[in-house]
Amino acid sequence: MPFIPHTPDDIAAMLATIGVDSIEALFDEIPADLRVGAPALNAIPNALSEMEITRLMQARARTDGQPLCFIGAGAYEHHIPAAVWQIATRGEFYSAYTPYQAEASQGTLQLLYEFQSMMTALTGLDASNASLYDGASALAEAVLMAVRANRQTKSQRVLIPRALHPAYRRTLRAIIEPQGLELVEVDFDPRGGHTPVERLEAAAGSEECAAVVINQPNFFGILEAVDELTDWAHAHKALAIAVVNPVALALLSPPGDWGAKGADIACGEAQPLGMPLSSGGPYAGFLCCKQEYVRQLPGRIVGRTLDLDGKPGFTLTLQAREQHIRRGKATSNICTNQGLLVTAATIHMALLGAEGLERVAANCHANTRRLGELLGAIPGVEPLFERPVFHELALRLPAPTAELLRSLAAEDILGGFDLGPDYPELDPALLVCATEMRTEDELRRYADTLARLIATPVTSSSGQVSQV
Amino acid sequence: MPFIPHTPDDIAAMLATIGVDSIEALFDEIPADLRVGAPALNAIPNALSEMEITRLMQARARTDGQPLCFIGAGAYEHHIPAAVWQIATRGEFYSAYTPYQAEASQGTLQLLYEFQSMMTALTGLDASNASLYDGASALAEAVLMAVRANRQTKSQRVLIPRALHPAYRRTLRAIIEPQGLELVEVDFDPRGGHTPVERLEAAAGSEECAAVVINQPNFFGILEAVDELTDWAHAHKALAIAVVNPVALALLSPPGDWGAKGADIACGEAQPLGMPLSSGGPYAGFLCCKQEYVRQLPGRIVGRTLDLDGKPGFTLTLQAREQHIRRGKATSNICTNQGLLVTAATIHMALLGAEGLERVAANCHANTRRLGELLGAIPGVEPLFERPVFHELALRLPAPTAELLRSLAAEDILGGFDLGPDYPELDPALLVCATEMRTEDELRRYADTLARLIATPVTSSSGQVSQV
Amino acid sequence: MLIQEQSRTGRRATAQAPLHSPEVADIPEGLRRRARPALPEVSEMQAVRHYTRLSQQNFSIDTHFYPLGSCTMKYNPRACNSLAMLPGFLGRHPLAPETHGQGLLACLFDLQEILKAVTGMHAVSLAPSAGAQGEFAGVAMIRAYHRARGDHARTEILVPDAAHGTNPASAVMCGFKVREIPTGSDGDVDLDALRAAVGPQTAGIMLTNPSTVGVFDRNIQAIAQAVHAAGGLLYYDGANLNAILGQVRPGDMGFDVIHMNLHKTFSTPHGGGGPGAGPVGVSKRLEPYLPVPLVAHEDAGYLWLTESDRPESIGRLTAFGGNMGILLRAYIYARLIGREGMGRVAEFATLNANYLLARLQEAGFEAAYPERRASHEFIVTLKREAREFGVNTMDFAKRLLDYGYHAPTTYFPLLVPECLLIEPTETESKEDLDGFVAAMTAIRHEAQETPEQVKGAPHSLPVRRLDDVRAARQLDLAWTPGASEDAHG
Amino acid sequence: MLIQEQSRTGRRATAQAPLHSPEVADIPEGLRRRARPALPEVSEMQAVRHYTRLSQQNFSIDTHFYPLGSCTMKYNPRACNSLAMLPGFLGRHPLAPETHGQGLLACLFDLQEILKAVTGMHAVSLAPSAGAQGEFAGVAMIRAYHRARGDHARTEILVPDAAHGTNPASAVMCGFKVREIPTGSDGDVDLDALRAAVGPQTAGIMLTNPSTVGVFDRNIQAIAQAVHAAGGLLYYDGANLNAILGQVRPGDMGFDVIHMNLHKTFSTPHGGGGPGAGPVGVSKRLEPYLPVPLVAHEDAGYLWLTESDRPESIGRLTAFGGNMGILLRAYIYARLIGREGMGRVAEFATLNANYLLARLQEAGFEAAYPERRASHEFIVTLKREAREFGVNTMDFAKRLLDYGYHAPTTYFPLLVPECLLIEPTETESKEDLDGFVAAMTAIRHEAQETPEQVKGAPHSLPVRRLDDVRAARQLDLAWTPGASEDAHG
């Protein structure tokens, strides 16, 4: 009986104490016709020993390979210090529950307070929650929060740039649409790739908006004129919601400094702060805001307080916002944070520090720039937009993107994100990223391979995949 | 400055406190002509970041591959529960020093006491030390100990079976020879593969011996008649030293039960108890003995005692035997144990328990037996000896062993240990082992490959190896 | 001391960042940061030491018995962690092609199949990131179902008064009104009240069974019949699935949609508050609405189904479709316990709960529902102790910490006064349960003899009882440079 | 409670062993075990919880400042651990062919080269498993050298009185007699005594420089000259190499053979007492005697050199030739700090030691060698405190534990009364050193005002001061079934 400690003697003694004959008798209040028959569970395989499941999982993990990755598009392959996960997976962090009993959870609570402090430092805002599911759902919470928090307008409309990650736009829609909010997409400038104020103006029309979402850098890696966009939002009674990459913030102006008054809310994906790519999750979304909106902030929040002896300590606070107290009137239904990931992110930021993060950002940027040079030297490959970029680069291709990506993948190179399906007007186009992990040799390997593929187009393979 | 926390301000303040101008001044007592010049260190490469060393080590580790292993010969590929090293590498175990300050080291000390208790349970002896470097050096210490401890004879001679691991015999020689002890090798029976009492008799001749080394199973996997051998030793004033595999002890008679009085000392390699193969180390030797010899036992020993309040606690004990107290008169120069490995072994044994270890042993045995059947079906391949074996099997081959092994390795199969170089009279012969980790498919893959190689001999490759 | 307070200008864990720092002059000056953010500047050892020591201030499953009702704090097998963190899984980019993901996809597909079988549902999506997101997805599917049928009148979700707070919150997030149904004195839902409440405005009901009062609702079939007859759907809150795993299936009870908390029933780590994973299962009629992505299996191999394959889907709940690393852990756990192990989970969770209840009753504690079998959890009310000794449930809870036991869930569900909701789980041994009874007994003795000792608890932890009111009134949510002295003064 | 005391018959961590148990009837009955060994029968969670909690009872570098003289307790980078444990390295069988070991061998070869360069020796063997085994190997090589020259008269090894106990013990294990050389009042070896002691019977001298009294012997060249002139060889005990790394090389000082403690200078983990690694370096004339295996590099790749390649070798010290996993960690560390980092180790270890000494002297503590520069460590004598307050060095040491500092080395070297040998290492920050001074100062205040508090220390650890005499007299070295009640009674 894996993970069950009961000996035959234990079972007998326990049944005797309860006063029943068998464990089966403990289920006697359940209508008998509901009890499941063994055949119903036949689809579940028999137990494996740890040795057997280890063999199986190792084989499957090997199948997925370790290709050379030039995809960014919202998830970034950064170096993660060895200390990060060695500490984060310590049992005391890994197997602890939500710190409801604060006195028995000071480790987690203090760490969350430190995380909040780091995120406010990075974003330049006053308050941070202790994380949400991921960047996209954090944006959805940010939008809901902005609509609730905006006292200048009752508008339920929110402007979002088309140059925002397509998956973020989809997630936003799925989460906020049942509440009747309206999303208005703002197109980007076809030459610059940025979102000009004029486009905001046009999209907004004459109606008020509750919030404007500003993405820096945007999905194409293009740097937006965030000061103007923020000021426009404030001038139009809208709150400004920043969607930012926390590593980029080591170099770029923090949302709290945008425009005359600063963005009101900042959110984004914390994955670049020490979380493995892991096929998309678990990651962690972060959400920060100005002090005046803190009681509208969803998710867990940790505060510093004092104990009976006047000694400082940490506790979950503002719980009156949360579902377990406020039920249907809560700021959100959320009742977890991504504790383990935040543990990793906090240790990661402590190890990197501001200068370390800045170096990571600068190296990513330089590597992507260098990749742009190398790929740009291939006939027919050229930058899609002319404005300055950060850390990510959109390229026009001389051949169908999907086919090229398939051929690259066959050589264990993940060439980037195909922009065509989401932005048909840009097709064939590719979004590439080279983090600090990529070496010059790897950049050249990519460029040489792509050059060869473009020069000698091959019949695409059948796309068959092998089974495990 | 990796791993050095000093800021420029710190350095300035510290130098001021000391009253010197520069760090360089702190070396002013060292004769100037001895100071090393920079060029002397040129062979040392520049620092790498953790990201860079990670890339390098991953590439090198990949180079070594993960071939299918049928080598045993003193190191065994067993399943290691995931919990073992996740706990053993916790900072509090991993980065702790020798528990000289007992009160601040109860974790390590209690664990060592538990280890000692487990080893005495396995060997059936009274006392255990807290480990030595490895099995071979533990045997050397056991032999030195036996010679010191034997009060019935002043003999400096020790009988060792030729069917003992060749590397153990070499290690033994290297360590004890400078002290003037004499090793007498006892041949094995060419048909049975065992070490008969008559051979002991013949090797001993008319002179007394201080100790007899008894290996169960022996290097060929053959089960020795340990009761008779132990009784012979005792009848001839010699101490009986058992060399045993701790996993085998889950099934086989413990040294404490051998013969009428039991072996006096037992030692061996603890690697099978949760230690990765790791190219040969770090492993851990164990050494147990009867109560009467405990003050001759080398290495660290932990005892249970009481604190000032009468509460039980653990401490290093019998330190008067050790070099830091007794200096030149110590039982050994040893001043470490293999703490981290013992941590792993203790957790491993706690997780497996007696029944678990027994299952491991039985599965290894059954797998090796099955491998014997499959390989034995190949024309020209047959068991080398006729006596019962445990867990390891010696085979006669119809073709040169080294060449076959090379060809197998080229197909990522490590076919076993070539017996020829150490036992020329057996050549061509192979020692194979299939632990519980091997599946039926893998056994068949080996047998099929070997059958093919034997049927169609190929020109051996140049033996070239690729560089990293 | 905070890591920020250990910071010294110019200190760094040098090995952790690139050794060279290239120029970034191509980034316009006006978009660049003017001052470095106030992140800690510490050495690698300082960070390691700080967080290692912080960790030791936590209670956790790996160190303590954690009988926290409704949270299913059972052992998280260590192999689940190490195998889910194999480099092939960890290093895989979410947008890598399926050719480079057959290993992962095989695990996810198998997990879908296992969850279908053990819940009796027709189809499963692994996308939701936690229980609450699963609830949202479930209610959103109910909404989508009615809307697809043009049935726009169904604006109301029924929720028992004992329900988890997430239930009403999730219903509201999907645009529904919430109507509470009372619980009867026997712990089952008040069936008459339910029948009176259902109608053409009823979109569905959200239930957990066994309920949060720790009993299996014996009228579940009648409830299902009543709701279905009114055109509503039944939502199963999987928070208590551990109680019935392999014994009764929500699908067989008549539920149309269900979420599972893998971090409870499938033993993935709680991680100090997350991540969770909240897959949803549905009956056939709700299948088109499942959140994407889903994993399918064709001859060519495993593949993702996304928005384009599932046009009626309620959509995408996170950018990349789920907490893969958690799903892998749940899959490994499921394979380790296997088919027979599923039923054993419920058996021994139930045995432990009933044994612990019996022992506590013997010791003089009062069960909230003494006539009922406990499921995997049960409620003890300390109202007598509160009245007689002036020592309340929170005091008991805090004092338990001193005895080395994490407190059970306190003051939930709201309908039982001074209550402790106790869930021992199947992975605790009889000795641990006996130890807990001994501690409870000792604390009651203290409550009588030396009540201040209990009211002042905890005494042996890094801090004594914390002032939550102060925390909420004098908000201190982030350290800022220069503020240290005040805070610690 | 011991893990054995948690054992219950029939309990098991089921997932950890094969699920099927084949017959082993072919093993003769008489050779089979009659009864199962009394190993613990516990669940997986019990084992995890037990050892996790046990670990928390340790001080360690990852949790505490550890100024333990002569032990070089510096930070062990976490990357060294994870990278040495990559599957390709961990899974490699020691007898796997070189074709399946080029990655490992490349690391070992590079490490040999780095150690040669930083010590100034001609050749290096990585084989010895720890410092003491390195010493044995070194002395065995000295023995082999003289014997190879037919010089059988050299039966004596000189050892300063301040030497580590391993020095004389290792010399004796190699069959030598040991002759002690006194240390002068200035901390240097008494040169006259040395000159009087050397002669045709001198096989060599074993020295560490800086010595165990924490000073660099200024006469090292004269010592080398005297010993060499008499036909003896110089052995360098690498225990204190951290003090001079990249600043002075033993080879340049005239040493013929040296061992290095990688678990000190190269920051491999101490692991609660091991494993260590004690590579030896030699001058050209001793090269033939190096222990095997060695790693060589030829055009075809890296390969092992073993007994057959090195017929004059002193042989093999362990079955498989060394603590590979530790050597890998040391290699990774060496690459992380790089060429410049080598010299910085000594610089900042020395800076920290001299700063700490200066601060302690300011605070009124007495240095054993006040006229000398500290090397990486130094000695404080508490003889005044012992005389005036009746509180001895051990009391100070135990009380430091209460303050969260591991005690320095006590009562070593033997020649300084009531001594603390203090080595802060280069990885501790100024704040930590200042904290230690504050604790020492506070304890001295306590020694004066409330001496019982110091003498009764520690007060805040899992146990109070343990009775070592009882431990040695009433030997209790192993739990046996049935003995629990007595022991804990």
CA–CA distance, B190 with A351 (Å, rounded to integer): 63
Residue A455 scores a pLDDT above 70: yes
Residue C486 scores a pLDDT above 90: no
Q: Which pLDDT band holds residue A107 (cuts at 50, 70, 90)?
A: very high
Q: What is the pLDDT of residue A139?
A: 98
Cα C442 → chain centroid: 31
Is A247 domain-assigned?
A: yes
- Please indicate whether, in this complex, the C-beta atoms of A81 and B50 are within 8 angstroms of each other: yes
Both B275 and B308 in one domain: the answer is yes
Both C254 and C359 in one domain: the answer is no
Is C273 domain-assigned?
A: yes
CATH of the domain at B304: 3.40.640.10
The residues in A 70-129 lying below 8 A from D, measured between CB atoms, are 81-83, 86, 91-92
- Residue A60, CB half-sphere, CA atoms under 13 Å: how many? 26
Q: Which two tokens stand for residue D115?
A: 């150690």
CB atoms within 10 A of CB B430: 26
CA distances from A445 to A292, A411, A448, A458, C260 (A): 51, 10, 5, 19, 45
Question: Which residue segment(s) compose the domain that D12 sits in?
Answer: 4-55
Q: What is the pLDDT of residue A212?
A: 98
- Give yes or no for a contact between A317 and A301, defined as CB atoms under 8 angstroms apart: yes
Is B238 domain-assigned?
A: yes
**Chains that contact A by 3+ CB pairs under 8 Å?**
B, C, D
Helical spans, DSSP H, in B72-165: 82-88, 91-94, 106-123, 135-149
- Residue after which a domain boundary falls, among A292, A324, A347: A347
Q: Of the candidates A255, A189, A269, which has an alpha carbon nearest to the alpha carbon of residue A226? A: A255
Q: Which of D22, D32, D40 sits opposite B353 (nearest CB)?
A: D40
CA–CA distance, C266 with C276 (Å, rounded to integer): 10
- Segment A23-31 shows an average pLDDT of 97
Both C143 and C256 in one domain: the answer is yes
D392 DSSP 8-state letter: -
Q: For chain A, give the mean pLDDT.
A: 95
C480 DSSP 8-state letter: -
Q: What is the pLDDT of residue C466?
A: 97
Q: What is the pLDDT of residue C403?
A: 98
- Segment C136-164 shows an average pLDDT of 96
Residue with tokens 């039966």: D155
CA–CA distance, B44 with D343 (Å, rounded to integer): 12
Both D86 and D235 in one domain: the answer is yes
Number of domains in chain B: 3
- Please indicate whether, in this complex, the C-beta atoms of C14 and B1 are within 8 angstroms of each other: yes
| Residue pLDDT, tens place only, B416-433 | 999 999 999 999 999 999
Confirm or reject contact between B355 and chain C (CB < 8 A): no
Is C238 domain-assigned?
A: yes
Both B189 and B43 in one domain: the answer is no
Q: What is the pLDDT of residue A457?
A: 65
- Please indicate whether, in this complex, the C-beta atoms of B50 and A82 are within 8 angstroms of each other: yes
Both D368 and D273 in one domain: the answer is no
Confirm or reject contact between A373 and chain C (CB < 8 A): no
Q: What is the pLDDT of residue C397?
A: 97
- Please indicate whether, in this complex, the C-beta atoms of B29 and D373 are within 8 angstroms of each other: yes
- Residue after which a domain boundary falls, among D337, D359, D378: D337
Both C380 and C294 in one domain: the answer is no
CA distances from A268 to A134, A146, A167, A389 (A): 8, 15, 13, 18
Question: Which residue segment(s) compose the domain that B33 sits in?
Answer: 8-63
Report the DSSP beta bridge partners of residue A96.
none
| Residue pLDDT, tens place only, A165-183 | 999 999 999 999 999 999 9
CA–CA distance, C63 with B230 (Å, rounded to integer): 46
| Residue pLDDT, tens place only, B148-200 | 999 999 999 999 999 999 999 999 999 999 999 999 999 999 999 999 999 99
Q: Of the candidates B85, B146, B444, B131, which has an alpha carbon nearest to the alpha carbon of residue B269? A: B131
Both B51 and B88 in one domain: the answer is no
Q: Which pLDDT band holds residue B129 (cuts at 50, 70, 90)?
A: very high
- Segment A443-452 shows an average pLDDT of 98
Q: How many residues does chain A have?
A: 468
Largest CA distance in chain D: 76
Helical spans, DSSP H, in A283-338: 323-326
Q: What is the pLDDT of residue B447?
A: 98
Residue with tokens 């569970």: A41
Residue A467 scores a pLDDT above 60: no
Q: For chain B, give the mean pLDDT.
A: 95
Q: Which of A96, A127, A414 sits opposite C58 (nearest CB)?
A: A96
Both C432 and C348 in one domain: the answer is yes
CA–CA distance, D243 with D264 (Å, rounded to integer): 11
Higher per-residue confidence, A244 vs A326: A244
Q: What is the pLDDT of residue A408?
A: 98
CA distances from B292 to B127, B151, B264, D163, D483 (A): 9, 11, 9, 32, 20
Share of chain C above pLDDT 90, in %: 96
- Residue after which a domain boundary falls, among A347, A363, A378: A347
| Residue pLDDT, tens place only, A374-427 | 999 999 999 999 999 999 999 999 999 999 999 999 999 999 999 999 999 999
Both C299 and C380 in one domain: the answer is no
State the Rg of chain D over Cα. Answer: 25
* Closest chain A residue by Cα to residue D14: A2
Q: What is the pLDDT of residue A460?
A: 47
State the Rg of chain B over Cα. Answer: 26
Number of domains in chain D: 3
CA distances from A375 to A394, A397, A416, A437 (A): 11, 10, 12, 18
Both D227 and D309 in one domain: the answer is yes
Q: How many residues does chain B have?
A: 468
Is C87 domain-assigned?
A: yes
Residue B328 scores a pLDDT above 80: no
- Please indicate whether, in this complex, the C-beta atoms of B437 and A81 are within 8 angstroms of each other: no
Residue D81 scores a pLDDT above 90: yes
Is D222 domain-assigned?
A: yes
Give C8's contacts in chain D (Cβ within 8 Å).
Answer: 429, 431
CA–CA distance, C71 with B210 (Å, rounded to integer): 64
What's the complex ipTM? 0.97
- Residue after which a domain boundary falls, among C337, C372, C399: C337
- Segment B55-68 shows an average pLDDT of 96
Q: What is the pLDDT of residue D122?
A: 98
Exposed/middle/buried for residue C299 (C-beta within 10 Å: 0-12, 13-18, 19+):
exposed
Both C146 and C180 in one domain: the answer is yes
- Please indicate whether, in this complex, the C-beta atoms of C19 and B47 are within 8 angstroms of each other: yes
Is A10 domain-assigned?
A: no
Both D424 and D297 in one domain: the answer is no
Q: Which pLDDT band holds residue A466 (cuts at 50, 70, 90)?
A: very low
Q: Which of B51, B86, B90 sits opposite A79 (nearest CB)?
A: B51
Both B49 and B152 in one domain: the answer is no
Confirm or reject contact between A22 and chain C (CB < 8 A): no
CA distances from B204 to B197, B236, B258 (A): 11, 10, 21
- Segment D366-392 shows an average pLDDT of 96
Q: What is the pLDDT of residue B38?
A: 84
How big is the A-C interface in CB pairs under 8 Å?
725
C156 DSSP 8-state letter: E
- Residue after which a domain boundary falls, among A347, A362, A393: A347
Residue B61 scores a pLDDT above 80: yes
Residue A468 scores a pLDDT above 70: no
D58 DSSP 8-state letter: B
Q: Of the candidates A87, D275, A367, which has an alpha carbon nearest to the alpha carbon of residue B278? A: D275
| Residue pLDDT, tens place only, A133-170 | 999 999 999 999 999 999 999 999 999 999 999 999 99
Helix H or strand E segment including D181:
strand D177-181
CATH of the domain at C428: 3.90.1150.10
Q: Which two tokens stand for residue D92?
A: 């490699």
Both D187 and D329 in one domain: the answer is yes
CA–CA distance, D306 with D94 (Å, rounded to integer): 13
- The region of weakest confidence among A97-101, A341-345, B428-432 is A97-101
Confirm or reject contact between C9 and chain A (CB < 8 A): no
Both B417 and B377 in one domain: the answer is yes
Residue A256 scores a pLDDT above 70: yes
Both C277 and C162 in one domain: the answer is yes
| Residue pLDDT, tens place only, A58-94 | 999 999 999 999 999 999 999 999 999 999 999 999 9
- Give yes or no for a contact between A15 and A21, defined as CB atoms under 8 angstroms apart: yes
Q: Which of C18, C42, C52 sits opposite B51 (nearest CB)?
A: C18
Confirm or reject contact between A10 and chain D (CB < 8 A): yes
| Residue pLDDT, tens place only, C417-445 | 999 999 999 999 999 999 999 999 999 99
Q: Which pLDDT band holds residue C489 (cuts at 50, 70, 90)?
A: very low
CA–CA distance, C335 with A47 (Å, rounded to integer): 6
Backbone angles phi, psi at A296, to 5 degrees: -100, -5
CA–CA distance, B389 with B194 (Å, rounded to integer): 10
Is B460 domain-assigned?
A: no
Helix (H, G, I), strand (E, B) or coil at A166: helix
Closest CA–CA distance from residue C317 to any residue of chain D (Å): 34
Q: Are strands D233-238 and D257-260 parallel, antiparallel or unpaired?
A: parallel
Is D412 domain-assigned?
A: yes
CATH of the domain at C313: 3.40.640.10
Q: Which pLDDT band holds residue D57 (cuts at 50, 70, 90)?
A: very high
Cα D180 → chain centroid: 22
